[in-house]
């Protein structure tokens, strides 16, 4: 459909055609309005006491309808208001308001979040963006041109970075821990990227040292966010999240967590075929792999579409223990490795094995695996342990030098009608031993006297150790198919924009695992139906007429009214925000401070030479965070101020300010938040007649009401 044709499909009065709440997301779709060139969308509920405009990038044009998705919401009730905008401004008489939209929270159960209260990636555990977090929108047009300033030296020097991979690479320097989320809109291909830093995988997310805290989220917006022609390599990283997008024809692995990672959360992905390499690589290689001393990882609510070598967990070099959670995934006619485990301790629970072609869970090399409350439909070899039981019959599945692993099973449903079905437990072993040890209760331990036939490996009973195990409530096995394939189940929001039904298994490995030519062709020909973001030039993805252009973008806020700036310090005293100029020394041995639920251990020491200078352009609330064991004590603009608690809050007037030493203390963080008075003043100022404003380089008659973050500073738009 051409853009001209799409714009002709307008109605005199629009209708909301779809609306709802999903996981930390509220959304709406509407039919076009006659006379509208774009739309402003507002949200109310949660922290938004009044309708507040959302980022314009979230308001997209699909030709016959418009759609908005608001992410980063705490569980609760919300409403969206869609206001058409014509050449003379908002058409208030044609505004639409949704019903109450009930938003749920993501399931954060698993090892990734265990004893890690800070929240993984750019978001807090309640679903909201972390204080000071950056949001970057990635489309076909912006993947090369998106910009962000990143701290790249111990002196706080910032570098202006351009392009998605270039920005991520700058985080590898190790000086900037500012939470950052990359929001994928529509289809983004390898050719759209500025570069890839992993020649094997694609986008590389890498820390400076093992387990470096990065606070990075890669997330898709809506039901159709997709990357094609590349995947992701994660190394030396801590606090990385990937969610709600599809991966088609990646370079090697879809997501490879390879080498010294921790607290990584991969969830709600649709993973399709990789490159066709022929033979056992006809469907590509790994889909989501966790290797080489990666630990405290959760892979959950992902849908694997006829994938071949689905998930490899562990190599042979792990220092261990490496705890992994693997739950509520949907193996939709996939072949093997669900997962295939070496050395690691893995909790496999509430997964839906839907016509798995070769085998379900496979374990070797002394791994300890708890397989609990899963549903195995038409899966002939649900459990394999190297060189014993089913695997010891015939030629075997794994490499001949890999010793056995102990697998505990409880509460699973096994479809024993599957052709050539095999499962042996200690209660009824084969002459070659058993596949898994079946317990009568979840809490039952496997005795140390139970060992593998090859290697004499035992089970470490990690799942019954309260110090090692997280709290969880598994669904009953019989409920798993409905849960995993339901509205809040595996894969992208709304089950994504790709639909395909695979044939039922016949019991033949070669036939059931064969490459599906029709499905592969569909993936190769996949194009997004997204025309573009309202108010911008259409995306050149083959679905819109790019010879057409839409009106000049309407300005929108880069941060909601409630936006704030949080500055922390590393052990050298380097600030995380370029807003602050710091002279002083840091430390990581002065205790800890709790900031927005996050425990900080690095601070700026307040000494006689210490100085923190910054400027605000409007009335701003400042909160200073000292060590939890200290009381607040500092000089603000030369005047000593104190408090009986470890935090000090005051209101700053517009202008330059400086923090210096009062008595000996340790400063862990500074938060600047627009004051309610300033917000009110901005709204009043923005409604004044005959006033022009400069907004991000554009002169406009009336900006949207609100307070903005401009170059890291709170500012009224003038």
DSSP secondary structure letters along 423-453: --BTTB-BTTB-SBEEPSSTTPPPPTT---T
pLDDT band for position 180 (50/70/90)? very high
pLDDT of residue 694: 41
Select the more confidently predicted residue: 296 or 576: 296
Q: Which of 396, 385, 290 is nearest to 344 (CA)?
A: 290
How much of the chain, in percent, has pLDDT values that exceed 90? 77
pLDDT band for position 321 (50/70/90)? confident
The predicted model gives 604-622 an average pLDDT of 87
- Is 552 a residue whose pLDDT tops 90? no
Q: Which of 414, 342, 334 is nearest to 385 (CA)?
A: 342
pLDDT of residue 675: 60
Structure tokens at 301: 């609510």
**Reported pTM:** 0.77
Q: Which residues pair with 182 in a beta bridge?
A: 136, 218
615 C-beta neighbours (distance < 10 Å), count:
14
* Polymer length of the chain: 718
pLDDT of residue 395: 86
CA distance 366 to 385: 10
pLDDT tens per residue, range 83-102 = 999 999 999 999 999 999 99
pLDDT of residue 382: 98
Q: Which residues pair with 326 in a beta bridge?
A: 299, 348
Contacts of residue 508, Cβ cutoff 8 Å, sequence gap at least 6: none
Check: CB of residue 156 under 8 Å from CB of residue 180.
Answer: no
Q: Which of 680, 627, 678 is nearest to 651 (CA)?
A: 678
CA distance 665 to 662: 8
pLDDT of residue 691: 44
pLDDT band for position 677 (50/70/90)? very low
CA distance 599 to 241: 19
- Is 186 a residue whose pLDDT tops 90? yes
pLDDT of residue 684: 44
44 C-beta neighbours (distance < 10 Å), count:
16
How many angstroms from the chain centroid is the CA of residue 493?
13
Helix (H) or strand (E) run with residue 686 in it: helix 676-686
CA distance 352 to 377: 8
Select the more confidently predicted residue: 204 or 684: 204
The predicted model gives 45-60 an average pLDDT of 96
pLDDT of residue 468: 95
Q: Which stretch of 272-286, 426-440, 614-628 has the lowest confidence by average pLDDT?
A: 614-628
- Is 560 a residue whose pLDDT tops 80? no
DSSP string, 199-215: TTTEEEEE-SSTTEEEE
- Is 716 a residue whose pLDDT tops 70? no
The predicted model gives 600-615 an average pLDDT of 92
How many helices (H) and strands (E) in the chain?
6, 58
How many angstroms from the chain centroid is the CA of residue 409?
30
Q: Phi and psi at residue 699, in whole multiples of 5°?
A: -90, 120
pLDDT of residue 650: 87
pLDDT of residue 166: 98
CA distance 484 to 351: 7
187-189/202-206 β-pairing? unpaired
The predicted model gives 340-366 an average pLDDT of 97
| Cα-Cα-Cα-Cα dihedral sign, residues 677, 682, 683, 688 | positive
pLDDT of residue 674: 67
Q: Which stretch of 134-148, 303-317, 647-661 has the lowest confidence by average pLDDT?
A: 647-661
Select the more confidently predicted residue: 318 or 350: 350
Q: Is the backbone of residue 272 left (phi > 0), alpha (psi -120 to 50) or beta? A: beta
- Is 284 a residue whose pLDDT tops 70? yes
CA distance 4 to 296: 51
The predicted model gives 343-372 an average pLDDT of 97
CA distance 297 to 112: 5
Check: CB of residue 446 under 8 Å from CB of residue 459.
Answer: yes
Q: Which long-range contacts (CB under 8 A, 24 or more apart) does 93-100 make?
A: 94/13, 94/14, 94/33, 94/36, 96/14, 96/15, 96/16, 96/30, 98/16, 98/19, 98/26, 98/28, 99/19
Contacts of residue 514, Cβ cutoff 8 Å, sequence gap at least 6: none
- Is 193 a residue whose pLDDT tops 70? yes
Contacts of residue 316, Cβ cutoff 8 Å, sequence gap at least 6: 342, 343, 365
Please, how many CA atoms are within 13 Å of residue 218, restricted to the half-sphere of its CB? 28
CA distance 593 to 558: 29
Q: Which of 97, 70, 83, 79 is nearest to 40 (CA)?
A: 83
Q: Which of 137, 256, 280 is nearest to 203 (CA)?
A: 256
Q: N- to C-terminal Cα distance for the chain?
A: 41
pLDDT band for position 681 (50/70/90)? very low
Looking at every residue in the chain, the average pLDDT score rounds to 88
pLDDT of residue 540: 59
């Amino acid at each position: 459909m051409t853009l001209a044709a799409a714009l002709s499909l307008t109605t005199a009065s629009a209708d909301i055609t779809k609306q709802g709440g999903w996981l930390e997301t509220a959304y709406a779709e509407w039919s076009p309005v006659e006379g509208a060139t774009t739309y402003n969308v507002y949200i109310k509920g949660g922290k938004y006491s009044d309708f507040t405009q959302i980022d314009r990038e979230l308001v997209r044009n699909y030709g016959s309808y418009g759609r908005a998705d608001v992410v980063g919401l705490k569980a609760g009730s919300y409403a969206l208001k869609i206001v058409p905008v014509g050449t003379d401004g908002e058409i208030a008489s044609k505004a639409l308001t949704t019903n109450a939209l009930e938003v749920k929270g993501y399931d954060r159960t698993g090892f990734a979040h265990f004893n890690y209260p800070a929240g993984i990636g750019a978001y807090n555990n309640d679903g909201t963006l972390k204080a000071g977090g950056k949001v970057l929108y990635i489309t076909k047009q912006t993947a090369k041109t998106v910009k962000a300033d990143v701290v790249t030296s111990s002196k706080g020097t910032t570098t202006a970075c351009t392009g998605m991979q270039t920005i991520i690479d700058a985080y590898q320097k190790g000086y900037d821990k500012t939470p950052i989320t990359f929001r994928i809109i529509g289809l983004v291909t390898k050719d759209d990227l500025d570069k890839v830093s992993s020649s094997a995988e694609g986008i590389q997310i890498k820390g400076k040292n093992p387990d470096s805290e990065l606070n990075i989220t890669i997330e898709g917006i809506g039901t159709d966010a997709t990357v094609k022609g590349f995947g992701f390599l994660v190394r030396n990283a801590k606090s990385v999240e990937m969610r709600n997008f599809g991966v088609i024809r990646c370079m090697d692995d879809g997501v490879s967590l390879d080498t010294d990672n921790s607290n990584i959360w991969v969830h709600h992905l649709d993973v399709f075929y990789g490159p066709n390499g022929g033979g056992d690589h006809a469907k590509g290689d790994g889909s989501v792999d966790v290797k080489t001393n990666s630990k405290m990882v959760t892979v959950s609510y992902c849908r694997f579409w006829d994938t071949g070598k689905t998930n490899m967990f562990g190599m042979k070099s792990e220092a261990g223990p490496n705890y992994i959670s693997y739950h509520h995934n949907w193996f939709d006619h996939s072949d093997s490795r669900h997962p295939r485990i070496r050395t690691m301790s893995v909790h496999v629970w509430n997964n839906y094995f839907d016509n798995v072609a070769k085998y379900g869970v496979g374990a070797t090399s002394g791994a300890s695996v708890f397989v609990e409350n899963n549903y195995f439909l038409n899966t002939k070899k649900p459990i394999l342990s190297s060189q014993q039981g089913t695997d010891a019959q015939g030629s075997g599945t794994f490499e001949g030098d890999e010793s056995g692993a102990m697998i505990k099973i409880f509460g699973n449903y096994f479809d024993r009608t599957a052709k050539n079905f095999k499962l042996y437990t200690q209660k009824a072993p084969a002459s070659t031993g058993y596949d898994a040890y079946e317990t009568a209760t979840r809490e039952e331990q496997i005795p140390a006297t139970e060992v593998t036939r090859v290697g004499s490996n035992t089970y470490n009973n990690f799942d019954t150790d309260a110090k090692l195990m997280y709290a969880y409530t598994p669904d009953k096995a019989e409920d798993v198919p409905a849960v995993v394939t339901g509205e809040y189940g595996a894969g992208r929001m709304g089950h994504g924009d790709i639909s395909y039904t695979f044939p039922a298994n016949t019991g033949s490995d070669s036939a059931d695992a064969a490459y599906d030519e029709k499905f592969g062709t569909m993936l190769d020909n996949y194009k997004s139906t997204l025309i573009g973001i309202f108010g911008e030039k259409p995306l050149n993805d083959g679905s819109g007429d790019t010879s057409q252009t839409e009106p000049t973008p309407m300005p929108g806020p880069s941060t909601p009214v409630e936006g704030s700036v949080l500055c922390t310090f590393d052990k050298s005293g380097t600030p995380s925000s370029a807003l602050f100029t710091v002279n002083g020394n840091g430390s990581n041995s002065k205790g800890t401070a709790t900031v927005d639920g996050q425990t900080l251990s690095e601070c700026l020491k307040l000494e006689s030479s210490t100085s923190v200078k910054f400027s605000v352009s409007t009335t701003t609330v400042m909160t200073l965070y000292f060590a939890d064991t200290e009381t607040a004590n500092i000089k603000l603009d030369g005047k000593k101020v104190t408090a009986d608690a470890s935090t000090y809050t005051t209101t700053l007037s517009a202008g330059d300010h400086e923090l210096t030493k009062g008595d000996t203390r340790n400063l862990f963080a500074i938060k600047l938040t627009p004051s309610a008075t300033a917000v009110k003043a901005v709204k009043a100022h923005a409604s004044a007649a005959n006033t022009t404003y400069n907004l991000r380089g554009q002169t406009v008659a009336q900006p949207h009401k609100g307070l903005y973050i401009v170059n890291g500073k709170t500012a009224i738009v003038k």
